[in-house]
């Protein structure tokens, strides 16, 4: 077992080469977290060792943090068996009793918040101010919110029969909000009386494993929550397992399609006593439009743009990655955006002043680099505010000695046919387009295969309501962006998936009525 001194990783993290004449003093996070050398799987309330393991790495330092267990199909089988045997008792508990467990998990997340925030930042690269102020508090809020529903489910869907749990839920989550996504998935499932087998993403397993510790600490009955770590093969074993009743997946559209196909083609074994198909919800990718009208408050809109695309290094499914600015204010908006972006601090994620942390993995870093190359090759103009270098890929990525870092940047003179305007990049890269009329804004914004989120900035309430109704997006933010709350349903349509998480709508995915 090792205790990691977060200051050590601070010293080794890179500073941008284009340092401004004056700078903030370093403000490194001082909390120390203990990370085991090796982690097992959490199955049936016990830690299960595996022969195969893989490294989990701190993307800011490129150093290994721990060895994480690689679960194979037999481990998934054990986890499903544990969840199945825990299900009848858990489902039969009075809602008030289940609610108490959820309240305890929420409280324990709050009590261990600082440690969880540091771990999230070390394992995933996001700035400590985001994991501390957004990810971890929201994860606790999801457990609190669903604890409140546990004994009120009979009132959730008026006019319908009292809802019943579905059974064992297989849940697969991505790396961009590791603990938060785990909370989004586990809290509603448990509140409704289901048991779960959850697989975190390969690069960010550590906080899900801490959550397993928390389940243990608060005395959650064994088997109600099982955490199996591993790569895509572990996810596949969950998807294909015959005794899982529901799959909840958050991740890329590509894998989402593959899962939809597998679930559609599956023959459910008759001996399970079920003839109905496995249930499925998919929360997938996005390329969300962010629309700025000439009557918007431009300074506020610029803050919204920054929050919309550079939050969490742009590793956000609903990132406002396509910016549409009304032509009459395009130059002024870009000038203000340029100025604001040049003040964003890129670097050590554990520094409390850092705005943009490390890219989650080498693989994602390479993907972003490829997209920037493609944008330049297609003729869009790359702008990297605050960089003295000519606008090439190295002005985004150069000057960092260690770690995977990208400076926030945007492309202007983008055509709707460019790849940077059509495909999800999942990095701090904004595509800027323009429009003349609201009609044109709608038509351009909806010209995408995705439909997750959208943002509108205008001073006119009537325009807001008209636009919001016509935008093809699951979530529309008005004069704000990237706001999340457990009471508010979140999800997409078109190739951004189906099903909702959060709010009363999110409960529906975890019950039969
Ligand atoms: P991903 O590659 O699709 O992976 C998501 C999860 O699926 C990971 O745990 C992954 O394991 C696992 N997986 C990989 N191959 C699988 C397979 N064949 N069968 C079952 N599971 C498999 O996505 P990502 O790159 O981690 O995450 C980024 C994507 O998630 C983006 O497209 C983003 O928009 C989307 N996202 C959507 C939402 C939403 O609410 N709509 C929220 C957050 C993120 P490994 O980690 O080992 O590969
Ligand atoms: Mg990692």
Residues 433-444 have pLDDT tens digits of 999 999 999 999
**Ligand 2: distance of its center to the CA of 402 in Å?**
15
- Taking the C-alpha atoms of residue 94 and residue 179, their distance in angstroms, rounded to an integer, is 27
How confident is the model over 308-345, as pLDDT tens digits? Answer: 999 999 999 999 999 999 999 999 999 999 999 999 99
Q: In the predicted model, what is the mean pLDDT of residues 215-223?
A: 98
Say if residue 115's pLDDT is above 70.
yes
Nearest one of 264, 272, 275 to 243, comparing CA atoms: 272
The 3-class SS string of 302-313 reads HHHHHHHHHHHH
Give the burial class of 398: count Cβ atoms within 10 A of its Cβ; 0-12 exposed, 13-18 middle, 19 or more buried.
Answer: middle
What pLDDT score does 277 carry? Answer: 81
Domain 289-482: state its class: alpha beta
Residue 407: strand pairing partners = none
Is 283 assigned a catalytic role?
yes
Q: Which of the following is catalytic: 120, 130, 236, 283? A: 283
What pLDDT score does 4 carry? Answer: 52
**Ligand 2: distance of its center to the CA of 472 in Å?**
34
CATH of 34-283+496-512, one of 1.10.150.530, 3.20.20.140, 3.40.50.300, 3.40.605.10: 3.40.605.10
How confident is the model over 229-261, as pLDDT tens digits? Answer: 999 999 999 999 999 999 999 999 999 999 999
Q: Where are the domains of the chain?
A: 34-283+496-512, 289-482
Say if residue 390's pLDDT is above 90.
no
Residue written as tokens 């962006």? 481
Cα–chain center distance at 49: 28
Say if residue 11's pLDDT is above 70.
no
Is 317 assigned a catalytic role?
yes
Q: In the predicted model, what is the mean pLDDT of residues 46-62?
A: 98
Residue 450 Cβ < 6 Å to ligand 1: no
């Amino acid at each position: 077992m090792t205790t990691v001194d977060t200051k050590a990783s601070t010293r080794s993290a890179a500073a941008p080469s284009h340092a401004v004449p004056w700078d903030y003093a370093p403000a490194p996070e001082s909390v120390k977290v203990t990370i085991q050398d090796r982690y097992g799987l959490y199955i049936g309330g016990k830690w299960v060792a595996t022969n195969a393991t893989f490294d989990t790495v701190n993307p800011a330092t490129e150093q290994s943090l721990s060895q994480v267990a690689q679960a194979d199909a037999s481990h998934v089988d054990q986890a499903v068996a544990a969840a199945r045997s825990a299900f009848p008792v858990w489902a039969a508990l009075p809602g008030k009793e289940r609610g108490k467990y959820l309240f305890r998990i929420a409280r324990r997340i709050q009590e261990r918040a600082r440690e969880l925030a540091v771990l999230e930042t070390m394992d995933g690269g996001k700035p400590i101010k985001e994991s501390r102020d957004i990810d971890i508090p929201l994860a606790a809020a999801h457990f609190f919110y669903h604890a409140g529903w546990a004994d009120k489910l009979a009132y959730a869907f008026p006019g319908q029969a009292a809802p019943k749990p579905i059974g064992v839920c297989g849940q697969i989550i991505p790396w961009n909000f590791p603990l938060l996504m785990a909370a989004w998935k586990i809290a509603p499932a448990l509140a409704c009386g289901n048991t779960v087998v959850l697989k975190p993403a390969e690069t960010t397993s550590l906080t899900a494993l801490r959550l397993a510790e928390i389940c243990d600490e608060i005395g959650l009955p064994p088997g109600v929550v099982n955490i199996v770590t591993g790569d895509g093969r572990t996810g596949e074993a969950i998807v294909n397992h015959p005794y899982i009743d529901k799959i909840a997946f958050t991740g890329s559209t590509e894998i989402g399609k593959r899962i939809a196909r597998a679930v559609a083609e599956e023959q459910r074994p008759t001996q399970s006593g079920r003839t109905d198909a496995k249930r499925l919800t998919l929360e997938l990718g996005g390329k969300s439009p962010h629309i700025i009208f000439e009557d918007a408050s431009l300074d506020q809109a610029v803050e919204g743009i920054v929050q919309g695309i550079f939050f969490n290094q742009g590793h956000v499914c609903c990132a406002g990655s396509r910016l549409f600015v009304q032509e009459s204010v395009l130059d002024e908006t870009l000038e203000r955006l340029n100025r604001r972006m040049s003040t964003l601090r890129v670097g050590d994620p554990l520094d409390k002043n850092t705005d943009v942390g490390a890219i989650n993995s080498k693989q994602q870093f390479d993907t972003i680099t490829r997209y920037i190359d493609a944008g330049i090759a297609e003729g869009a103009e790359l702008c990297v505010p605050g960089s003295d270098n000519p606008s090439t890929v190295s002005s985004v990525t150069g000057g960092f000695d260690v770690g995977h870092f990208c400076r926030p940047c945007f492309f202007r003179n983008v055509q709707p046919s460019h790849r940077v305007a059509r495909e999800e990049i999942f990095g701090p890269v904004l595509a800027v387009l323009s429009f003349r009329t609201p009609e044109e804004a709608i038509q351009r914004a909806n010209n995408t295969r995705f439909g997750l989120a959208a943002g509108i900035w205008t001073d006119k309430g009537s325009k807001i309501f008209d636009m919001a109704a016509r935008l093809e997006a699951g979530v529309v933010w008005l004069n704000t962006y990237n706001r999340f709350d457990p009471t508010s349903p979140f999800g997409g349509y078109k190739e951004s998936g189906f099903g909702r998480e959060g709010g009363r709508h999110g409960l529906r995915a975890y019950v039969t009525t």
